[in-house]
Structures are given as C-alpha cells and as structure tokens.
Amino acid sequence: DAKTTQPPSMDCAEGRAANLPCNHSTISGNEYVYWYRQIHSQGPQYIIHGLKNNETNEMASLIITEDRKSSTLILPHATLRDTAVYYCIVRVNFGNEKLTFGTGTRLTIIP
C-alpha cells in the first residue's frame, strides 16, 4: 500500500467545516483513498472512500485532486463528537486484507 502523510494535529471551531488533508504522492492507479476515524476508547470507524471522483455521504465529503496525489476529507459542520484521530490510507479496493494505519491527524473540535 502507498504511504500517506497527514498533519499530526488540527483544531476546528464547532459548527465550522473541518478540512483534513492527506498526501499520497506514490498512489498507484488501482489504489483507492480511504478514511477512517477513531474516537477515544472506541474502535476505528469507516468514513468514506474514493478512487478519483469526489465522493459524498452522510458523514463527509472526499475531494481528490486530479493527479490523485492528495486528498481532503471535509466534515461540513463539525460537532464536538467529531473529535477523533482521522486516518487516511490508500489501498487496492477491498484487497490486501490487512488494514494498517499510520499516526493520523488528531482533530480537536473547539466549542
């Protein structure tokens, strides 16, 4: 799986959009971008994934650059419950069964 780089921490005001960047400059053509998050004392939670088109679901939006070397996860109206560590990973879609996380971005939502 390609390596990803994320900032170690970010703050965001409650009610504002949280934009979490991820660099994946060595991504291969058949690799997807996945985002998970882990709230304190809970297991990781799947958020969203995409290949090259922007994606949106009930939790978030995923914006992938045209060259696919970076992406941004957008939480449109952050709440205190969105405080968590967010992990960006790239992998072949549902392949390479072993899921591995780096250190992620610790997002803190400020009241």
Summarize as ranges the residues that interact with other proteins (CB under 8 A).
34, 41-46, 49, 87, 93-94, 97-104
Query: Which of residues 66 and 98 has its CB atom nearest to other proteins in the complex?
Result: 98
* Residues sharing a CB contact under 8 Å with residue 10, sequence separation 6 or more, in sequence order: 18, 20, 105, 106, 107, 108
* Least distance (Å) between residue 86 CB and other proteins: 13
Rounded Cα distance between 80 and 57, Å, is: 19
Whose Cβ is closer to other proteins: residue 49's or residue 68's? 49
Smallest separation, CB 101 to other proteins (Å) = 4
Nearer to other proteins, 30 or 103 (CB): 103
CB of 32 to other proteins, least distance (A): 10
Give 94's DSSP letter: T
At its nearest, how many Å lie between other proteins and the CB of residue 15?
28
How is 14-69 classified by DSSP, letter by letter? TTSPEEEEEE-TT--TTEEEEEEEE-TTS--EEEEEESSS-EE-SS-EEEE-TTSS
